[in-house]
Amino acid sequence: MLSGKGVRMKLDKLQKKILVILLSLCLITPIGILLPMVFNAGDAWGEWSAHTLKDLVGYVPQGLAKYSDLWEAPLPDYAINTTDTSVVHQSGFYIVSCIIGATVTYVVMLLISKLIIKGGK
Amino acid sequence: MHIPDGYLSPQTYIPLIGVFVTTTAIAVKKVKNELSAHNIPYLGMAAAFSFIIMMFNLPIPGGTTGHAVGSAVIAIIFGPWAATIAVSVALIIQAFIFGDGGITAIGANCFNMAVFMPFIAYYIFRLLCKFPTGKPGVTFAAFISGYLSLVFAAILTAVEFGIQPMIASTADGKALYCPYNLSIAIPAMAIEHLLLFGIVEGIVTALIINYFLKNERDLVYAFRKGGKNETR
């Protein structure tokens, strides 16, 4: 069963090294918004907002209009403040979003794995 | 490849939620039998890695953007069932916290990137490793496994988009959900992943597989027979 240690686990040398690599990757994620800007690339295919889709096909499909605002994410588009369009600030928000998201993902997956792998013992 | 809310009809996203939930239930049982406690921190890192790699949007100049997913390398090192759970966790957090991928489309997105993709990747890798070509052969197998699995997952996503006009349109021919049909969606999604995003997935897969073979070879699932008592 889960010990009292919660999400704390003893990590070996290689595992600590991988965590450092992951954190470093978080710090360079702004590449993911800067490169598309430099090469003038837009949304991913099929991920347009209802507004952009209207420009593309001339109308907003009825069903799409009904569903598209179903969920209001707390940090939409990995930005802390979507109205602040300065590239430097957006890069900073992107890094913070990455660290928040990756940390939550890591902890949730760690807990799930513990429950699955140790739960049966 | 993260389908937003509103692009899929309920006739599409509801069955896919069912398929995803069923697969996850099987995955939980498989992971319990196949992986040892030594894997636990790695699985957390694998899910976080998938989350991070998907933030590296790459441009098709003047066109769309896309990214690698990380499912292939996770499937090879920890097995396709563990990859299903790890990548699903990343995708569900992306949907709820960052609005990347729709809530109604969670079943579809998880099926495409966290079920279909890791299994395709894993079996391509196993197949190519049957040829006794040594270390360069393994690197090549890892690259092809990452490359093709992302391309196939993109095509599957394109099929889900492309069948929408057939499933639900108004009387005057306007689509209710995704307005593009198969003949537009499939070439668009296939070409961008063949030309760029798939290559990145392939390179990432090959690099990490080499790293693990050098540092922790016994861990790599694709080289074990399965069964957590065989190693460690």
Model confidence pLDDT, tens digit, residues A13-44: 999 999 999 999 999 999 999 999 999 998 99
Across the interface, of A67, A73, A117, the residue whose CB is closest to B31 is A117
Q: For A65-112, how does the pLDDT look when each residue is reduced to its tens digit (9 = 90+)?
A: 999 889 999 999 999 887 888 999 999 999 999 999 999 999 999 999
- Is the Cβ pair B45, A119 closer than 8 Å? no
CB–CB contact B185 A46 (8 Å): yes
Q: Which of A109, A110, A111, A118 to mutate to test binding with chain B, by most B CBs within 10 Å of its CB?
A: A109
Q: What is the pLDDT, as a whole number, of residue B187?
A: 96
Confidence of residue A8 (pLDDT cuts 50, 70, 90): low
Letter for the amino acid at A112? I
Instruction: Tell me how far the alpha carbon of residue B1 is from its chain's centroid.
Output: 10
Domain B10-223 has CATH 1.10.1760.20: yes
Q: Tokens 């039998």: give the residue.
A: B33
The alpha carbon of residue A70 is apart from the nearest alpha carbon of chain B, in Å, by 7
Compare CB distances from B43 to A11, A94, A109 and report the shortest one's residue. Answer: A109
Amino acid identity at B123:
Y
CB contact under 8 A, B99 and A101: no
Strand partners, B65: A44, B59
Beta bridge partners of A44: B65
Query: What was the pLDDT predicted at B232?
Result: 37
Question: Which residues from B are below 8 Å from A61, CB to CB?
Answer: 6, 174-179
Q: How far is CA B164 from the centre of its chain?
A: 22
Residues of A within 8 A of B45 (CB-CB) are 15, 18-19, 22, 106
User: Domains of chain B: which residue ranges?
Assistant: 10-223
Q: Residue B59's beta-bridge partner residues?
A: B65
Say what the pLDDT of residue B231 is: 39
**Six-digit token string for B223:** 């080289």
pLDDT band at B3 (very low <50, low <70, confident <90, very high): very high
Say whether A44 and B185 touch across the interface (CB within 8 A).
no
CB contact under 8 A, A43 and B64: yes
- Distance, CA of A30 to chain centre: 12
Question: Cβ A97–B86 below 8 Å, yes or no?
Answer: no
The ipTM (two decimal places) reads 0.92
Q: Do B174 and A59 touch (CB under 8 A)?
A: yes
Task: Search chain A and give the residue with CA nearest B95.
Answer: A73
What pLDDT score does B230 carry? 41
* Mean residue pLDDT across chain B: 94
Whose structure tokens read 């992986």? B35
A117/B37 CB distance under 8 A: yes
Q: CA torsion sign, B8 to B13 to B16 to B20? A: positive
Task: Give the separation between CA A25 and CA A29, rounded to whole angstroms.
Answer: 6
Please name the member of A40, A98, A116 whose beta carbon is closest to the beta carbon of B55.
A98
